[in-house]
Amino acid sequence: MQVLKKLGIMIFSNFLVALAVTRFIAPHGIIMGGSTGIALIVTHYLEYPLSVTVLAVNTVLFLSGLLFLGKAFALSTLANSLIYPMLLAVLERTPLPASPATDAMLAAVFGGVLLGGGVGLILRTGGSTGGTDILALVADKYLHTNLSVLMYIVDGLVLGCQLLFSNTEQVLLGIFSLALFTMTMNKIMVMGKTQIQLMIISDKIEMIREKLLSEDDAGVTLFTIEKGYSGKPGKGIITVIPRRKLYYTGEIISLTDPEAFWTISEVNEVRGRGFSLDKKYPKEN
């Protein structure tokens, strides 16, 4: 089931990327990086289908990864390197309008968000998009330079080549779409069921601890502190609660110790006992 689930997410995420390229990015000539950016350069000068060109580029990059980075890395990128161009080919042959967005700005918005969502899902499930990242990884292996800088250089060269046949508006829309892509991708990668984390410091910490455990049914973690003004030792509590319990938990803290110092933070995802696992341990037979 886990394998089928991962495969389903992989297909869906690549579909989002293919949809963004075929229905929003390519029809409006918006520049983009990666292996698709290389394919857009090729298809501008040579009348080849975009899906075939992407497959050819991915194949060359995959073989480079296999040769220089080893089988383990190559296999991690194989599925996405094949699924993506296959979905591109399907969407190219689907009898739908070239782009549902007649306005280029609207196309850049939807293109960037769909690209970010697709790539974010791939990375979130432990997959690899491969593409031009392989070139940067190969260069890093032999040059031992900063990997992120190499990735920016490679994508910069791909984007720079598209400047030769793109107008100013297409370039600006490409930069805007890239910014949306990055923000969406980062958001998807840490997306989860957000919870509230409280850090509580009080002279009545034991009373607060007991009430949180008994009345609020919340898990707590105690930690020792040294008070900055007096230099005296003390204790604090960290607890993670659902959003709906924030008011009730706040009342418990305030009524127990009106002078308690506490902070409220939002955490993107919480895993472990009481959240992604059952709260109570199973009874032993």
Region for 150 from its dihedrals, namely left if φ exceeds 0, alpha if ψ lies in -120 to 50, beta otherwise: alpha
- Torsions phi, psi for 240 (to 5 deg): -120, 130
Q: How many helices (H) and strands (E) does the chain have?
A: 10, 4
CA R_g for the chain: 25
> What is the overall mean pLDDT for the chain?
85
What percentage of the chain carries pLDDT values higher than 90? 36
Predicted TM-score of the model (pTM): 0.71
Q: In this structure, what token pair is assigned to residue 269?
A: 């995802």
pLDDT on residue 237? 94
Query: Average of pLDDT values for 83-109?
Result: 85
80-87 average pLDDT score: 87
Q: Predicted confidence band at 274 (pLDDT cuts at 50, 70, 90)?
A: low
Average pLDDT value for residue range 162-186 = 90
Cα–Cα distances (Å) from 92 to 19, 23, 95, 110, 172, in that order, read 10, 9, 8, 18, 26
The answer to whether 249 and 263 have CB atoms below 8 angstroms apart is no
Q: Return the half-sphere exposure (C-beta side, CA atoms, 13 A cut-off) of residue 15.
A: 7
Please state, in angstroms and rounded to a whole number, the distance separating the CA atoms of residues 35 and 27: 17
How many of the other CB atoms lie within 10 Å of CB of 14? 26
In the chain, CATH 3.30.70.120 sits at 195-267
* pLDDT score for 224: 92
Cα(181)–Cα(256) distance, integer angstroms: 47
Calculate helix-pair angle for 168-189, 104-124, nearest 10 degrees.
Answer: 30
Three-state DSSP class for residue 61: helix
The torsion region of residue 219 among left (phi > 0), alpha (psi -120 to 50) and beta comes to beta
Supply the pLDDT for residue 240.
Answer: 92
Please compute the mean of the pLDDT values over residues 237-264 and round it to a whole number. Answer: 92
- Which CATH code is given to the segment(s) 195-267? 3.30.70.120
Average pLDDT of span 199-222: 91
